[in-house]
Chains A and B, each alone.
Chain A
């Protein structure tokens, strides 16, 4: 477990993706089976481990350490698992108990024996390993590694295509020994039943300035880009699944849609909340996401719905090598035959020249679409973000003039720059209080960054760790995709995808916008009937 504990530390402190990948690869090559597979599961969140409550852990430590010294330590450190791992009385020489042995010992001890077993393990482990184990059983590993990043690292480790790993992923179980054997070239691709497994999805590229000039409108169709969650619905025999575009299984959160998935095939679409045939704003869908067991009230209040874009399989026939137009015909036939509830077909917009499409794009904000997606008529369903096939053309952003309030130092290359900014708007037009409305750390040029950094250092009023509070006088023009009401923010609103469009060195702070003005920009438009 020593290597695993070390890996967790390295991952938590790494500031870049590449660094994390390198640490993972080193770990995979140094650790033995089955531990490395269990480590993958621990990071991916698929490891089954008995939960032991904080109060049990507290009791264990208070039996061993002077309660007053523990209290002072806990006050200072602020995290229970970390404090316990640091003050647990231990021998100088720790044993290297494997992750497998540790978790297995815990899993096989009865509920009443679990605390004793845990104490016995903590006695034998070193500090870092104690921390890792305590974090595992209290469920707060948080190392900043997504399932996707993990798969990329696995692919690089075995010199294999990440798409192959994604295709297999949900058919494999910890400790993933078959996967590692294949990655190391010792065995063939693991043989798994893929019927209900997630299929990696095709993604769109953003349109940049001159892209359209080199493309012919006649070779493309367009569809609305809905403001929901991209999903894949799979049905096979009497079973069904709903996945996000990263392959996360969200079936349990959406029983209402799942009940309707009873044909044989794989559909690609957008998950939305639709109430009385009207598409609801994204915030309503957010109320459903991450809720493992939605109550009846939630289901009634926020009914889910799929806007179908594409069909990947029908009656066990793989359609992915067909052209978009052919697949669309299959989709329409399927739809006509099945007449599925809670599913509609995405509308096709075809134009002969781009200028005609601009008119549609201009309607996006009014109707609550995020923009348009352009799909080449002749393209097969290609996994990943291949150039030249699918494009997203977002609606024009909104903008507001805000005032720089706080700045934070960046990471890695930017560690000597104040590069993350919090900005605010006037709380109303009459008084002089500023209310934070958002954060941004992109959009500016390198020259802007140099000048902003200097400005921050010269206009600091207070410092708290890596954060500085700034004399509120600099106006930033912020571009953002939308504003929503939010009761998690003091200002009552939240911006989506804010970035710095321009630094208004010239503009006096009292001419910046008010929170009220932002409130008026909240999307009131999501009344599309379907």
Chain B
């Protein structure tokens, strides 16, 4: 439907840039992969060559053993690089450490692929950079007007207040191991909480990695069965699934908490049997999505990754050409 962008299409491997001969965030092994950030649904292993920010490469090394040094090209934010017939550069996406938007210039047209992003301040990564462009390909994880994330500080206060109110309860906080976990820890520390924070073993490598990039996470203690008895009134962070697994047994009187943008919806909270929902997200909410769609000044908006329908509808009502990315095949 968009002939002028026929050089970009959604193939079986992912978003293919034909003149650049690369695929962005490929879902299958490919010769040349441009990777926006380290989350598993974007950064997969098995590609012949990877271009990503140095932080993303470090994250991938920590997660996948088989990534060799020679198969990667680190590219800093803002540095232009010619790849075959196109020029690309990375702009910060504000999503997690090293997360990037891919800016592609080809024959006088500029396309920005957002990857995952958010606009609000995050003490654990670089802020979002707004890059004006002709075509903006945006994510839409929270692409419905019902999603409006409150300030992360109010949510962190909820957690800290609950610790005071229930000093006998272990606050088991489910968070994704990459990004959300370190962001939450930074926010908690910013509020002056200096107690040790207990972490699930799966959090350890990525917390260490953030520390090596200079982020202060304070004292972290890995959970062992002995430690479980002294966590009353303390914070324990673990992957969301661990709350439901055997790992979570043995803690003193656990209180289940989950930090996620989905916690905005009461039914979700009830269904996951969460007692203290914390609405903290690494993705843009509806307000941020619609603001960005307006501010990038693009005439064309493609939407992917989530609730496409509502955001496409919104972009159309303000006079832009918009369609779900899945239709660009």
Residue contact A13 to B317, C-beta cutoff 8 Å: no
Residue contact A466 to B271, C-beta cutoff 8 Å: yes
Known A-B contacts A13-B274, A416-B244; the reply to A69 vs B145 at CB < 8 A is yes
Known A-B contacts A66-B317, A69-B314; the reply to A15 vs B145 at CB < 8 A is no
Least distance between B232 CB and chain A CB atoms (Å):
13
Give the size category of A's interface with B. Answer: 20 to 34
Q: Which residues of the partner chain A approach B314 to less than 8 Å between Cβ atoms?
A: 66, 69
Residue contact B273 to A411, C-beta cutoff 8 Å: yes
Q: Is A77 an interface residue (CB 8 A)?
A: yes
Known A-B contacts A411-B273, A415-B254, A416-B243; the reply to A76 vs B266 at CB < 8 A is no
Least distance between A412 CB and chain B CB atoms (Å):
7
Least distance between B297 CB and chain A CB atoms (Å):
22
Least distance between A141 CB and chain B CB atoms (Å):
13
* Cα distance, A465 to B267, chains bound together (Å): 11
Chain A 447-477 against B: per-residue CB contact (8 Å), 1 yes, 0 no? 0000000000000000001100000000000
Residue contact A76 to B244, C-beta cutoff 8 Å: no
Chain A 416-437 against B: per-residue CB contact (8 Å), 1 yes, 0 no? 1100000000000000000000
Residue contact A86 to B264, C-beta cutoff 8 Å: yes
When the two chains form the complex, which single residue of B146, B246, B317 contacts A73, counting CB atoms closer than 8 Å?
B146
* Cα distance, A417 to B276, chains bound together (Å): 19
Q: Is A14 an interface residue (CB 8 A)?
A: yes
Q: Which residues of the partner chain A approach B265 to less than 8 Å between Cβ atoms?
A: 76-77, 82
Q: Which residues of the partner chain A approach B245 to less than 8 Å between Cβ atoms?
A: 416
**Which of A13, A22, A76, A79 has the most CB atoms of chain B within a 10 A radius of its CB?**
A13
Residue contact A15 to B273, C-beta cutoff 8 Å: yes
Q: Tell me if B's interface is mostly helix, strand, loop or mixed.
A: mixed
Chain A 227-266 against B: per-residue CB contact (8 Å), 1 yes, 0 no? 0000000000000000000000000000000000000000
* Cα distance, A12 to B144, chains bound together (Å): 24
Q: Is A87 an interface residue (CB 8 A)?
A: yes
Q: Which residues of the partner chain A approach B275 to less than 8 Å between Cβ atoms?
A: 13-15, 19, 412
Residue contact A22 to B254, C-beta cutoff 8 Å: no
Closest residue of chain B to A454 (Cβ to Cβ) is B246
Question: Which residues of B, 187-225, contact A by the 8 Å Cβ criterion?
Answer: none
Residue contact B273 to A76, C-beta cutoff 8 Å: no
Q: Which residues of the partner chain A approach B253 to less than 8 Å between Cβ atoms?
A: 412-413
Q: Which residues of the partner chain A approach B247 to less than 8 Å between Cβ atoms?
A: 416
Residue contact A68 to B166, C-beta cutoff 8 Å: no
Least distance between B315 CB and chain A CB atoms (Å):
12
* Cα distance, A82 to B266, chains bound together (Å): 8
Q: Which residues of the partner chain A approach B246 to less than 8 Å between Cβ atoms?
A: 416
* Cα distance, A19 to B145, chains bound together (Å): 33
Q: Is B148 an interface residue (CB 8 A)?
A: yes
Q: Is B248 an interface residue (CB 8 A)?
A: yes
Residue contact A415 to B146, C-beta cutoff 8 Å: no
Q: Is A140 an interface residue (CB 8 A)?
A: no
Give the size category of B's interface with A. Answer: 35 or more
Closest residue of chain B to A408 (Cβ to Cβ) is B273
Q: Is B313 an interface residue (CB 8 A)?
A: yes
When the two chains form the complex, which single residue of B254, B271, B277, B310 contacts A69, counting CB atoms closer than 8 Å?
B310
**Which of B144, B166, B243, B270 has the most CB atoms of chain A within a 10 A radius of its CB?**
B144
Q: Is B249 an interface residue (CB 8 A)?
A: yes
Q: Is A337 an interface residue (CB 8 A)?
A: no
Least distance between A466 CB and chain B CB atoms (Å):
6
When the two chains form the complex, which single residue of B148, B243, B307 contacts A127, counting CB atoms closer than 8 Å?
B148
Closest residue of chain A to B150 (Cβ to Cβ) is A127
Question: Which residues of B, 260-319, contact A by the 8 Å Cβ criterion?
Answer: 264-267, 269-277, 307, 309-310, 313-314, 317
* Cα distance, A78 to B144, chains bound together (Å): 13
Known A-B contacts A14-B275, A415-B254, A466-B273; the reply to A72 vs B310 at CB < 8 A is yes
Closest residue of chain A to B253 (Cβ to Cβ) is A413
* Cα distance, A76 to B147, chains bound together (Å): 11
Closest residue of chain B to A416 (Cβ to Cβ) is B248
Chain B 226-268 against A: per-residue CB contact (8 Å), 1 yes, 0 no? 0000000000000000011111110001111000000011110
When the two chains form the complex, which single residue of A12, A26, A77, A127 contacts B270, counting CB atoms closer than 8 Å?
A12
Q: Is A409 an interface residue (CB 8 A)?
A: yes
Q: Is B165 an interface residue (CB 8 A)?
A: yes
Q: Which residues of the partner chain A approach B309 to less than 8 Å between Cβ atoms?
A: 72
Closest residue of chain A to B265 (Cβ to Cβ) is A77
Residue contact A26 to B244, C-beta cutoff 8 Å: no
Residue contact A465 to B271, C-beta cutoff 8 Å: yes
When the two chains form the complex, which single residue of B244, B264, B313, B317 contacts A409, counting CB atoms closer than 8 Å?
B244
* Cα distance, A92 to B163, chains bound together (Å): 28
Least distance between B291 CB and chain A CB atoms (Å):
14
Known A-B contacts A22-B165, A415-B254, A416-B245; the reply to A87 vs B269 at CB < 8 A is no
Question: Which residues of A, 58-84, contact B by the 8 Å Cβ criterion?
Answer: 65-66, 68-70, 72-73, 76-79, 82-83
Closest residue of chain A to B275 (Cβ to Cβ) is A13
Closest residue of chain B to A88 (Cβ to Cβ) is B145
Least distance between A441 CB and chain B CB atoms (Å):
14
Q: Which residues of the partner chain A approach B277 to less than 8 Å between Cβ atoms?
A: 13
* Cα distance, A19 to B165, chains bound together (Å): 10
Least distance between A330 CB and chain B CB atoms (Å):
49
Chain A 35-77 against B: per-residue CB contact (8 Å), 1 yes, 0 no? 0000000000000000000000000000001101110110011
Q: Which residues of the partner chain B approach A82 to less than 8 Å between Cβ atoms?
A: 265-267
* Cα distance, A393 to B232, chains bound together (Å): 41
Closest residue of chain A to B169 (Cβ to Cβ) is A19
Known A-B contacts A79-B266, A86-B264; the reply to A69 vs B313 at CB < 8 A is yes
Known A-B contacts A86-B148, A416-B249; the reply to A77 vs B254 at CB < 8 A is no
Can you identify 8 A-B contacts, CB atoms within 8 angstroms? A13-B269, A19-B166, A26-B165, A72-B309, A76-B307, A77-B265, A412-B255, A413-B253
Query: Which 6 A-B pairs have CB atoms at the shortest separation, nearest pair first?
Result: A86-B146, A416-B248, A87-B145, A72-B310, A73-B146, A465-B271
Given A68-B313, A73-B144, A77-B265, 15 other A-B residues pairs in contact with their CB atoms under 8 A = A13-B275, A15-B273, A65-B145, A66-B313, A66-B317, A68-B310, A69-B313, A73-B145, A73-B146, A82-B266, A86-B146, A412-B255, A415-B254, A416-B246, A416-B249
